[in-house]
Amino acid sequence: MNTTIGQRVAIVTGGSRGIGRAIAERLASDGLAVVIAYGNNTDEADKTVDGIAAKGGWAIAVKADVSDEDAVNELFDKAEKEYGGVDVVVNSAGIMILDTVANFDLTKLDRMHRTNIRGTFVVNQRAARRVRSGGAIINLSTSVKKLAFPTYAAYAASKGAVDAISLVLAKELRGRDITVNAVAPGPTATELFLEGKDAETIDRLAKMNPIERLGRPEDIAEVVSFIAGPARWVNGQTIYANGGMV
């Protein structure tokens, strides 16, 4: 499948649902060809591709475990074969498991960190080797690092690693004209975030920022669109997209 001459190409991991899907849809609407990497939910990935295609965009879905370097290599191979190269990589894949430090199941800790830390490292390593000049690498972090909510220690720690990887890689790519940034959403109305929360909790979280609403996936996608495209002078930053919560 060939894109139009000069069309930029994006890989979005975790692109089948939630914030990742909104990012994939926004980049497609910006004119990029999008490769949606997903873990298990083929139906949702296909729906995302079909939705983009229905609006005249370019997209394919590729199943890939972000913590598996061979699978990520194949993901980049597929993007290059289908569209000719890779210009933007958005690593939105991640899992969130909550419990207190005292009670946290260490097996679950290892599973979460394998995706959130190793997965981020693997995707960024391959992106550093294969993204074209003028490109952008963007990792999804979290505002909860600053908020320090109880039960979020393990998740926040994994996202602190995401920030570190992003900011160091930005300096390591000196001279390549490739930007690297992290985007740290606040509470955002996704299925993952809303699961298990009662209406009172959701309302309380919504009012913690001056705008007094939860974020929408489209809000985060807007920030990603900016640093994936025109914002070439924003580099080596963690951008907090949370309505002014912190």
DSSP 8-class letter at 232: T
- Select which of 38, 83, 155, 240 is catalytic: 155
Structure tokens at 103: 């009670």
Contact 225, 30 (CB under 8 A): yes
Q: How far is CA 176 from CA 132, 192, 208, in A?
A: 8, 36, 40
Rounded distance between C-alpha atoms, residue 186 and residue 147, angstroms: 9
Residues whose CB is less than 8 angstroms from the CB of residue 2 and which lie 6 or more positions away in sequence, other chains included: 83, 84
Q: What residues are paired with 34 via a beta bridge?
A: 10, 59
Is 38 part of the annotated catalytic residue set?
no
Distance (Å) of CA 220 to CA 70, 76, 106, 171: 29, 24, 31, 24
Cα gap 78→59, rounded to integer Å: 12
Find the farthest-apart pair of alpha carbons in the chain and give their distance in angstroms, rounded. 55
Q: Catalytic residue numbers?
A: 155
